[in-house]
Structure 1
Amino acid sequence: MNTPVQNFKPTPMPTADHVRALLRLGLPLIGGHVAQFAIGLTDTIMLGWYSVESLAAVVLGSTFFFVIFILGSGFAIAVMPLVAEADAEGDEQALRRVTRMGLWLSLIFGVIVQPLFFLSQPILLGLQQEPEVAELAQAYLRIAGLGLIPALLVMVLKSYLAALEHTSVVFWVTLAAVPVNVVVNYGLIFGNWGLPEMGVRGAAIASIIVQFVSLAGVILYAVRALPQHVLFARIWRPDWEVFAQVFRLGLPIGLTNLAEVGLFAASSLMMGWLGTIPLAAHGIALQLASLAFMVHLGLSNAATVRAGNALGRKDADHMARGAWVAIVMSLSIAFIAVTLFLLFPEQLLGLFIDPEETQREAILAIGVGLLYTAALFQVVDGAQVMALGLLRGVQDTRGPMVIAAVSYWIIGVPCAYVLGFVVGLGGQGVWLGLVVGLTAAAILLMARFWITDLSRLRKRFAEGKSG
């Protein structure tokens, strides 16, 4: 834990120390995101073995779940910069209050949205999904939706622990959930070991078990590793001032995430208009792009903590140097991804396609073009999520919410439609629209941090010292 910094001129941290600090924080977070990605990938593979209908239903159901989850996750993400700032100031009471109200808000959100899961079939039918698939997806969501509550609570506690630089537990808890998910899926989806064969319902039960095991793990760690915070003492008592603070910071974060997820959801819908093969190629290419994004996301989370700590210490120079180091590291990761996507597209895509699949060559032909386009947006995708992490670290969330809505929905989605269907570029046109939207977001968000926020903070900190 950081100690409170008094009113003295800080010694500049060497660049190498910034790199080490960012890696110490970021690598476990990256590992945690990749492990979470592996859980979803495992579900997809195992249900694909069970039946095509079940796979389609759970892909649809998990997308529905994820959209709601990403909206509610804003409150959990808001905990991270607030706790990081309180830790830098040495204010244990503040970090405890913030975490508790983050748990409150996540619990309230999880309860309020349960009817959406229970009545998901009419919603899916309204989105022109196949009736049989919509019915099966609702059967999945009526069970899996209950897991939203522990999932959001886990995210709050992970944010609390990450902000205090206890990031290794975030990785190990998520990694431990992967084999649990595989074992329970294998038993309940297929009816192995004398268990009932439950198909999609078995996958839903497995997801709930994984969420509660993860919740138990992070609670146990938080209580044992940080007993001085007495995090859960009198947790039933409301703290309306901090409740409002977390709400004001967290709601725009959730809406920002929703705008970005909506961009990719819209691209999937448009690819579906082009046919089954383009949609399959899109799904595989998007999985590969998402895996690369997990690395950027972990670094972004680390940048949030570092910026929050610098905010608490009122050290704008430290914040700026740390931000540059984070951005350069993200660019390095993007360069690796671009190299792999350009040099080995068929090999990467082929990992997801059965060698005996009759449409394999057709999927590869489209997928290679999409992966080339994905290489174009690696740099800007990393830049926009890094900018978001830095902005959250300085508790600026409303402006980025507007920028995200404009970039993704007023610029990105229309460009994807025009390039894909009006200009006639097909799937590559749709993906070029993603590039345009992400580029707009990256430029505007970076400008907001460097030109607007950092200048404002330098002035505020200078006035505070002179006062």
Structure 2
Amino acid sequence: MNSRTSEAAEWRREAWATLVLAWPLALTNLSQMALLATDAAFLGHLSTEALAAVTLSGTLFWTMLSPGFGLSFAAAAMLAQERGRRVGHARAMRRTLRAGLWGAVLAAIPGMLLLWQGGAVLRALGQDPALAEEAQRFMRAVLWGIPFFGMFLTLRGLMAALDRPWPPLVIGVLAVPLNAVLGWALIFGHLGLPALGVQGAGIAGAVADTFMFAALVLFVLRDRRLRRYRFFGRLWRLDAARLVKLLRLGLPISAQMLLEIGLFSAVGLVMGAFGARAVAAHAVALQIASTTFAIPLGLGQAATTRVGLAIGAGRPRAAWRAGWAAILLSTAFMAPMAALMLLAPEALVALFLDPANPGGPETAALAATLLFLAGLFQLSDGVQVVGAGALRGLHDTRVPMLIAAGGYWALGFSAALALAFPAGFGPAGIWAGLVIGLLGVAGAMSWRWAGLSRRGGLTPRARLAPIAP
């Protein structure tokens, strides 16, 4: 077999290995999006105001989740490199998991405290007092699931590092009907339960998050192959040294997530200046765009694991191939999704909005316009999230954080404000700014990965010293 044929075979093997790992992760992400889509569908049929209130609460809720996301992604990168080294990997992975679970709980506390007073925060930011009051009812119910969701994400990273992505997928899928039935009953007052509206949606979400964590813990405890790792041994002991290492790697990821989530949160708040219909239209368009984003997010998580395993095993060429394979796979998926949003935005919006509601036709028309603009940033959004995931596999997190700061805020948010207000494009101008920002971030992330993987290997600076077990 000549070298060209051998190289092609390596690419095929890597693409297949990435897909095998990524698609359960992506479907797990989709199950999380299905939880949100179910709430949006129920609340959209309840009233435009209810949907707008929960959308406003999401601007704070997802911002407060960013520390937990960052630490869980850092734990996944550490766990992958540790397993790739093989020698002493069981003890190292056990310590990292313990630090990750502690980190998830500690990271949740400040966000829970802020969300408890979320209505006051929204009013201080200039939002409508009635919508802020409704949003607070949702936040005070849903916040109890935050620490459980963070710990579930940490366990999911562990399962990916062990090539066992299926259990989180099954559990995530089971959580969807649980959330749907409970949300339907509590929002509208069925099955003998009181009609709680937005508060009912929050309770259902918290219950679903708790269920996912508890079910995954039970699986790990009962699985014969996983029991020998004793992952939950001495869980009550705080491993300060490993937690510090996790924080050193994870805080820049948290900051990057905060910058990204904060951008969309800030956009949601700015939408409030254009009224409840603009907020509801933004929510629908964002929900659809987030659903497609779940697939490249899964590919990015797979890239973190594949790159980390290769680096841990001392195979930089395989790490280079893993990163580029994931980026190419993301592009192949997002291209038809972009075409769908550009060609049929009205049909997609109709799945979420009832035109019989007051203001329904106007809201749907605006949502279709925003979704068309979302189609313009699909490719760049997929590239940037996979590029960031591949870089995390190298434990390269600080430069991506700076890229996010410049691309999302200095470029994207500034353009959004300029196009929405001085230029007079309103809500459409805000989303046009998102297109500009995401294009900038995607280009910079690709440039960073290309720089570290130049000449088919990884530069010496990228070959970070492994974390000692």
Normalising by structure 2, report the TM-score.
0.90
Separation in 1, partners of 2:32, 2:464: 44
Q: Deviations over 1:61-108 (max 9, x none)?
A: 333222101232211111111101111111111111111101011111
Cross-structure match for 1:117? 115
Picking from 119, 130, 133, the partner of 2:131 is 133
Separation in 1, partners of 2:59, 2:28: 20
More relative contact order, 1 or 2 (CA 8 Å, 6+ apart)? 2
Separation in 2, partners of 1:117, 1:411: 29
Cross-structure match for 1:5? none
Separation in 1, partners of 2:62, 2:310: 32
Say whether the 8 Å CA contact 1:161–1:222 is kept in structure 2.
Answer: no
Amino acid at match of 2:384: Q
TM-superposed deviation, 1:400: 1.0
Say whether the 8 Å CA contact 2:59–2:262 is kept in structure 1.
Answer: no
Q: Deviations over 1:365-416 (max 9, x none)?
A: 4444333322221111111111110111111111111111111111111111
TM-superposed deviation, 1:463: 12
Pairing of 1:133-152 with structure 2 (within 5 A) = 133-152=131-150
Cross-structure match for 1:40? 36
Q: Deviations over 1:224-261 (max 9, x none)?
A: 23111101111122222211110111111111011111
Q: Deviations over 1:194-219 (max 9, x none)?
A: 23333333322222221221111110
Say whether the 8 Å CA contact 1:88–1:312 is kept in structure 2.
Answer: yes
Cross-structure match for 2:370? 370
TM-superposed deviation, 1:188: 2.6
Separation in 2, partners of 1:26, 1:92: 23
1:83 is aligned to 2:47: no
- SS of aligned partner of 2:196: coil
- SS of aligned partner of 1:422: coil
Say whether the 8 Å CA contact 1:315–1:461 is kept in structure 2.
Answer: no
Pairing of 1:271-310 with structure 2 (within 5 A) = 271-310=271-310
- SS of aligned partner of 2:134: helix
Distance 1:163 1:433, change over 3 A: same
Distance 1:135 1:432, change over 3 A: closer
- SS of aligned partner of 2:287: helix
Q: Higher mean Cα deviation, 349-358 or 431-440?
A: 349-358
Cross-structure match for 2:333? 333
Say whether the 8 Å CA contact 1:274–1:427 is kept in structure 2.
Answer: yes
Separation in 2, partners of 1:370, 1:402: 28
1:216 is aligned to 2:214: yes
Say whether the 8 Å CA contact 1:88–1:309 is kept in structure 2.
Answer: yes
Separation in 2, partners of 1:71, 1:181: 24
Q: Higher mean Cα deviation, 454-463 or 113-122?
A: 454-463
Say whether the 8 Å CA contact 1:316–1:454 is kept in structure 2.
Answer: no
Work out the number of aligned pairs and report it. Answer: 454
Unaligned runs of 5+ in 1: 1-10
Amino acid at match of 1:191: G
The RMSD of aligned alpha carbons is 2.4
Unaligned runs of 5+ in 2: 1-5
TM-superposed deviation, 1:128: 1.6
- SS of aligned partner of 1:235: coil
Distance 1:94 1:447, change over 3 A: same
Cross-structure match for 1:185? 183
- SS of aligned partner of 1:86: helix
Normalising by structure 1, report the TM-score.
0.91
Cross-structure match for 1:410? 410
Separation in 2, partners of 1:447, 1:406: 14
Q: Deviations over 1:401-449 (max 9, x none)?
A: 1111111111111111112222333333222211111111111122222
TM-superposed deviation, 1:289: 1.5
- SS of aligned partner of 1:195: coil
